[in-house]
Structure 1
């Protein structure tokens, strides 16, 4: 059966009301766990993340003229840079850095519109992007394990660790054994299971949920209201280089989407428009106090399984996300999730991120027997995971992943033997590989 004949609803087809609501909720559940986990880890309000992801998705759909069915949620690549930026300039400084990262998307979009997309493959081959993605996952390993093992006093607790292990086990079981819709929301299933177990062992403070107002304005962090924006080179160099990784992730998602829907989104509406939409979503999040956004593989998986590509359903999920962000009971419930529950989920998620970088290198047949490839990947891994810092002055530093990405790009451009530019990062996947990684 061809893809066209298997389509239930095409991109611009309107669903009936029941399908609209039901499938919009399915997309909401698919992105929910990961989207609230990022602000939870970096100390931002998960309700703001829900609102900014919804508004960012709507902006993306408008900028791409309703031609690219995608949902945008919190980006894991920015977790460490956000924490570091907050340490330097507080929440306001982190939001300035996020806005600058979104601005980079806009600049890249303009260049792609003028010069085409192949130039970006020169600076972002798999031998650079793969190790940097590994750094994103493994660089967060200590965070996940500490969250899983420690009590609120930052001391080891077997009781708290048991909650993390139950959460991890439930997430793994849902990922491996569940089918259909439930296979798309293993993170949410793991969190719910861990939360129920935590209630049983008495480590949940439910009082804030009882006292919460049903309607509540999220804790937005708005420029000129909560802080006065100020440019900082240190924050810029913490946040901006990460856009290199997330742009390459965006390109990969566009290719998977193209194969799922039997269209070429790189040509129409054009890679420049989808990248611009992604950047606009990140800038909207920065203006509200949410984490940077990125297209979500989880929702691509929903599209592939349901064969419902209607942008109206994605827009519906975005509207629900904004609505839920203003429900105080939901915000309080999210805030009451014990740290070890999120730690248990993070163990798997951060490992999957690292493994996806390894998978990219394997799929693109990066030969580590080649000294050039071995040197580039090795340097990126050690500098990134080791947390190296290049301090030029008191106000200018390059940290960990950002430094690793820049050095990796430089090595790729400088070292001899660079292969000819191919569309290697834009994999044309086979029909049997149309699931989101």
Structure 2
């Protein structure tokens, strides 16, 4: 194993600290601001809360785990369901999604407590690859239609000849689709052909190239940037102040079941990160602490209006490439993100990114999410000659991607990936032939 340039608790020089922290900030930047733009929230608040959540995570894990927390893609569809979708690109009821995210944070805390008291192996038995991997595939493919629509179509006002009312309709645009394709292929090139630090941030680089192309072809409007203040407060969403606290079964059932996937993702990140920095994070500081840090980060984020958080693979990639494992560098990236979120003109510039560019990058990103589910099946040698595995995966995929819903009342339903995840866990527990052995990470 290569020797660390800076180990976990080693302090960098001032110049190293600034440059390396900016590097981590850029690595997570593209994905972190993409999520709020897809669910109708403020990119500034997402950036601010990513920094705050990361600092919370570092504190809870006793400054032993150099992980950065950014916006979670697993909650895009559930947040749209909870908040009743978007209108003109803005979340209809963002407070609902925040309540759901806070509930997610609390569930993380409960799971953390259970692990602390009983160990982690029950969790590994409850969430084997045959359940988690197909749900991850559902998350990626379930969003594929959204990505393609964003890439190809634009909203235009059109007069309805029958009613005489001006309506907003979705219309194909070759010009905008070209921007999506430039963005997509740029991100692919950075992913495949670059081997240095740029390969760890293909989302950001793709967005930059796509944005430059969009400026050249004239589909970017800089008016909001000119009108924006140099400094501006992010758009906070405080419960009881900016929205009414209304906890419903719909909100909880849309958001909470996705914990099945995100906790599994968290465990995977901790194992990979442990290998990169030559530590055993399952033992020290323990999964209970890292899961609690993730949950508290999500809870704090949602309390002020940010999306749910997760540890970022992009930043693990930066650690692997640079061999700089210092938590001080991660801390510096979090502080930079917090500071940048208050620059009004910078946030206004981000808001001018065309929907087509976001769609182009989403095609790759959502595809990678689905492919990571396939990779999990392959790496864990899941046998599809076994009818039990075939049944579980098949039901999860069709229920999730097909958008099945278990509807109890007009406003109360379990649907999509949430229903698929629950059914997957139930099938795994009930069908005979369940593997009772769990890998020992101690």
- Equivalent position of 2:107 in the other structure: 104
Q: In structure 2, the residue corresponding to 1:244 is in which secondary structure? A: helix
Stretch moving more, 81-90 or 27-36: 81-90
Q: In structure 2, the residue corresponding to 1:87 is in which secondary structure? A: coil
RMSD between superposed Cα atoms in Å: 1.2
After TM superposition, give the deviation of residue 416 of structure 1 in Å: 0.3
- Equivalent position of 2:116 in the other structure: 113
Preserved contact between residue 121 and residue 421 of structure 1 (Cα < 8 Å): no
After TM superposition, give the deviation of residue 38 of structure 1 in Å: 0.4
Question: How far apart, CA to CA, are the structure 2 residues paired with 1:295 and 1:394?
Answer: 36
Which of 123, 148, 151 is equivalent to 2:151?
148
Which of 304, 309, 314 is equivalent to 1:298?
314
Instruction: List aligned pairs for 1:24-423, cutoff 5 A.
Output: 24-87=21-84, 90-153=93-156, 154-423=170-439
> Which digits, 9 at most, give the CA deviation of each residue in 1:258-295, with x for residues without a partner?
11111101001110000000001110111111110000
Q: In structure 2, the residue corresponding to 1:122 is in which secondary structure? A: helix
Runs of 5+ unmatched residues, structure 2: 86-91, 157-169
Runs of 4 or more above 6 Å deviation:
none
Question: How far apart, CA to CA, are the structure 1 residues paired with 2:415 and 2:11?
Answer: 47
Stretch moving more, 109-118 or 393-402: 393-402
**Would you tell me which structure has more strand in proportion to its own residues?**
2
> Which digits, 9 at most, give the CA deviation of each residue in 1:183-237, with x for residues without a partner?
1111111111111111111111111111111100011111121012121111000
Structure 2 length-normalised TM = 0.94
Count of aligned pairs: 423
Q: In structure 2, the residue corresponding to 1:259 is in which secondary structure? A: helix
Preserved contact between residue 255 and residue 266 of structure 1 (Cα < 8 Å): yes
Question: How far apart, CA to CA, are the structure 1 residues paired with 2:377 and 2:364?
Answer: 20
Structure 1 length-normalised TM = 0.95
- Equivalent position of 2:5 in the other structure: 8
After TM superposition, give the deviation of residue 393 of structure 1 in Å: 2.0
> Which digits, 9 at most, give the CA deviation of each residue in 1:116-166, with x for residues without a partner?
000001210000000000000000000000000002322001111001001
Runs of 5+ unmatched residues, structure 1: 429-437
Question: How far apart, CA to CA, are the structure 1 residues paired with 2:213 and 2:279?
Answer: 45
Stretch moving more, 83-92 or 359-368: 83-92
Stretch moving more, 209-218 or 340-349: 209-218
After TM superposition, give the deviation of residue 396 of structure 1 in Å: 2.1
Question: How far apart, CA to CA, are the structure 2 residues paired with 1:280 and 1:192?
Answer: 32
Stretch moving more, 195-204 or 138-147: 195-204
Preserved contact between residue 118 and residue 421 of structure 1 (Cα < 8 Å): no
